């Protein structure tokens, strides 16, 4: 019941938007100062269900405060490096694809927790390094989202640092709740019985998020268009249904024709 409730809380609030920033948030951050960047960063993390699921997987079996600090610090250093450096250098990636990789990181941590790698390797990969590397990937995703805003030239470093600080504060807030729940749950008889189910749930959640992001990527009509919301999604399908390709190929249902392509279709 606990993992089901946590999954619903983390997953549903921003499912359709893939934890993107709303127009209202963009307007607020443009009119505000560094404190607004901090606020948006914290909100972004608290609604970033894929990031939170990964953090939940990290701390699931950690029983000491120092272990939590060690692993979360590795994750924080990783995503801070790429968040700051990629934003300053203007490096972006397709946000569907980077979010798809982040979804796979959720699968990884769930699989690690159930001892999946130990079935095939004498020694499973060093988790601290895996967490750091995935932190780098998560930070690249955060940077790509941040760069959707016009950051300007003057004071850009302070804006990035404020956003990053907000990310960390949001992570700490979520982490405190997770650790408290796990600490209480760990002292019940059901913990060991449900732990495998819970981490399998992380794997299934990661697979679902991966498929959702790849679905969105396949429906991207233009490089900078977010095609997953219902209006664009329906438009894409209407466009697909109105096409009559002469030689269908696998995956052709996701392709769009030029605007003048309909004039080339002969009258029936």
> pLDDT tens digits, residue range 108-157?
999 998 888 777 777 777 889 999 999 999 999 999 888 887 676 777 88
Residue 267 structure tokens: 């009258």
- At residue 84, the pLDDT reads 93
Q: What would the pLDDT profile of 155-179 be if each residue is shown by its tens digit?
A: 788 889 999 999 999 999 999 999 9
Q: How far apart are CA 59 and CA 75, in angstroms?
A: 11
- At residue 227, the pLDDT reads 41
Q: How far apart are CA 155 and CA 12, in angstroms?
A: 35
Q: Give the start-to-end residue ranges of the domains of the chain.
A: 2-228, 231-264
Q: How far apart are CA 55 and CA 170, in angstroms?
A: 12
- At residue 67, the pLDDT reads 92
Helix/strand number for the chain, H first, E second: 10, 0
Q: What would the pLDDT profile of 20-60 be if each residue is shown by its tens digit?
A: 556 665 666 666 678 888 888 898 899 888 999 999 999 99
Q: What would the pLDDT profile of 5-23 be if each residue is shown by its tens digit?
A: 344 334 333 433 444 556 6
Q: How far apart are CA 169 and CA 100, in angstroms?
A: 25
Q: Check: pTM over 0.85? Answer yes or no.
A: no
Look up tokens 């989202």; give the residue.
Answer: 145
Q: How far apart are CA 202 and CA 161, in angstroms?
A: 31
> Cβ distance 177 to 56 under 8 Å?
no
- At residue 22, the pLDDT reads 62
pLDDT band at 79 (very low <50, low <70, confident <90, very high): very high
């Amino acid at each position: 019941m606990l993992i089901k409730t946590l999954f619903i809380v983390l997953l549903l609030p921003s499912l359709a938007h893939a934890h993107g920033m709303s127009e209202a948030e963009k307007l607020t951050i443009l009119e505000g100062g560094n404190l607004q960047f901090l606020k948006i960063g914290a909100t972004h993390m608290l609604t970033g269900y894929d990031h939170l699921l990964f953090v939940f997987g990290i701390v699931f079996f950690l029983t000491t405060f120092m272990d939590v600090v060690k692993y979360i610090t590795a994750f924080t250093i990783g995503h801070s490096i790429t968040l700051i450096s990629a934003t300053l250098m203007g490096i972006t990636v397709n946000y569907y694809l980077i979010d798809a990789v982040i979804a796979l990181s959720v699968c990884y941590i769930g699989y690690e927790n159930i001892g999946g790698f130990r079935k095939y390797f004498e020694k499973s990969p060093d988790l601290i390094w895996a967490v750091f590397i995935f932190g780098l990937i998560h930070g690249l995703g955060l940077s790509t989202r941040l760069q959707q805003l016009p950051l300007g030239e003057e004071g850009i470093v302070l804006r990035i640092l404020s956003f990053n600080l907000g990310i960390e504060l949001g992570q700490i807030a979520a982490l405190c709740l997770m650790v408290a729940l796990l600490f209480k749950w760990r002292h019940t008889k059901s913990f060991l019985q449900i732990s495998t189910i819970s981490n399998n749930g992380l794997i299934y959640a990661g697979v679902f998020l991966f498929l959702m992001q790849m679905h969105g990527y396949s429906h991207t009509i233009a490089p900078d268009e977010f095609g997953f919301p219902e209006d664009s999604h329906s438009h894409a399908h209407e466009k697909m249904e109105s096409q009559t390709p002469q030689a269908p190929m696998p995956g052709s249902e996701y392709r769009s024709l030029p605007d003048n392509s309909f004039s080339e279709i002969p009258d029936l």
